């Protein structure tokens, strides 16, 4: 599942989605915003949005496990000349 705008809190994914609503009644982070930020809302932050969302809210997408992976380039430590792999540099 690809999420472009989201936040993970305590292992639960909340995705920022556009809505027709203009209030926070169904936002999954409503209680957090009211308790921690008062009149400010997390949904006002466009996390990675290319388009500006006018009405948005967070939707709970459930528990997630994040696994970080690092792919090593196949040519690490190898020498290529003109697209051909060589064993060692010739002097």
Structural domain count of the chain: 1
Domain-located, residue 14: yes
Amino acid 46: pLDDT = 53
> CA triplet 68, 71, 73: central angle to 5 degrees?
160
pLDDT in tens, the chain (91 residues): 677 788 888 989 998 888 887 788 888 988 888 888 777 777 766 545 555 556 788 899 999 887 777 666 555 566 667 777 776 655 4
Within 10 Å of residue 9's Cβ, how many Cβ atoms?
13
**What is the per-residue pLDDT for 62?**
92
CB atoms within 10 A of CB 51: 7
> Which structural domain range is residue 28 located in?
6-63
In a domain, 31, yes or no: yes
């Amino acid at each position: 599942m690809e999420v472009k705008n989201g936040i993970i809190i305590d292992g639960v994914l909340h995705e920022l989605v556009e809505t027709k609503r203009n209030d926070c009644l169904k936002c999954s982070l409503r209680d957090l915003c009211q308790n921690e930020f008062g009149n400010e809302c997390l949904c006002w932050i466009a996390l990675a949005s290319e388009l500006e969302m006018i009405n948005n809210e967070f939707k709970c997408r459930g528990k997630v496990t994040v696994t970080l992976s690092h792919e090593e380039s196949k040519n690490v430590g190898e020498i290529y000349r003109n697209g051909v792999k060589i064993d060692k540099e010739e002097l």
